[in-house]
Amino acid sequence: MQGKIVLAGGGSEKDSRLVDELFASWIEPNRKILYLPLALRGARPFNECLKWLKSTFLPLNIMNIEMWTDLSEHQGDELFEFASVYIGGGNTYSLLAQFLESGFDHHLVEYASHGGIIYGGSAGAALLGKDIRTVNHIDHNNVGLIETKGLNLVNNHAVWVHYQPQDDELIYKYQGKYNQSVLAISERAGVVLDNSEIYSVGFESAFQFDRQEKHRVQNA
């Protein structure tokens, strides 16, 4: 049984507050969550990233956060020590490259299949989709990554983060070029996948683009 997948569009802690509150309500007291800030490698000190995440979740009674900064130092079965895995934003190409190099793309899919909770914010959300080329208009492929397949944990949808209504034309072009359905999430929106159920949580709506048609994702 697949666990819960949480997707946030990539805004500030104020933008994602409703998503974060729902996520926090699932975490049992004193359980650890794993924080992966890997998409920010070289862009921001990891200790600052951890400080930010703790300040975000401490008011929501999540106090036990462990950070990994190098997946090659860990084994896949270690994931099961955590109540959830939180994958933060940054450069999606760098993020996927680190998952592929370490084999943690497979490990995270297995974690989800055994009921694990995964939160993806911005690049983390795009990683969980079918393909990361949805970020081509905002991310540079500085790592020279050729493989663009994501972890495909979002009902065969690619994930479009930082969505704005003016992106619709780009999304339709993306669909026409790659023949993929797209889940579009703004910075003030979030989406939850809970087994077969999908719903939006946040201050704004999220949208599904299927067969060149746009539909609003139902609210929780």
CATH class of 4-216: alpha beta
CB 90 within 8 A of CB 57: no
Which residues are CB-contacts of 107 (< 8 A; sequence separation ≥ 6)? 76, 79
Query: pLDDT at position 205, please?
Result: 97
H or E element that contains 216: strand 213-216
Residue 1 above 70 pLDDT?
Answer: no
The CB-side HSE value for 103 (13 A sphere, CA atoms) comes to: 6
Query: pLDDT at position 6, please?
Result: 98
Give the whole-angstrom CA distance, residue 195 versus residue 113: 10
Work out whether the CA dihedral 59, 69, 141, 177 comes out positive or negative.
negative
pLDDT tens column, 158-208: 999 999 999 999 999 999 999 999 999 999 999 999 987 999 999 999 999
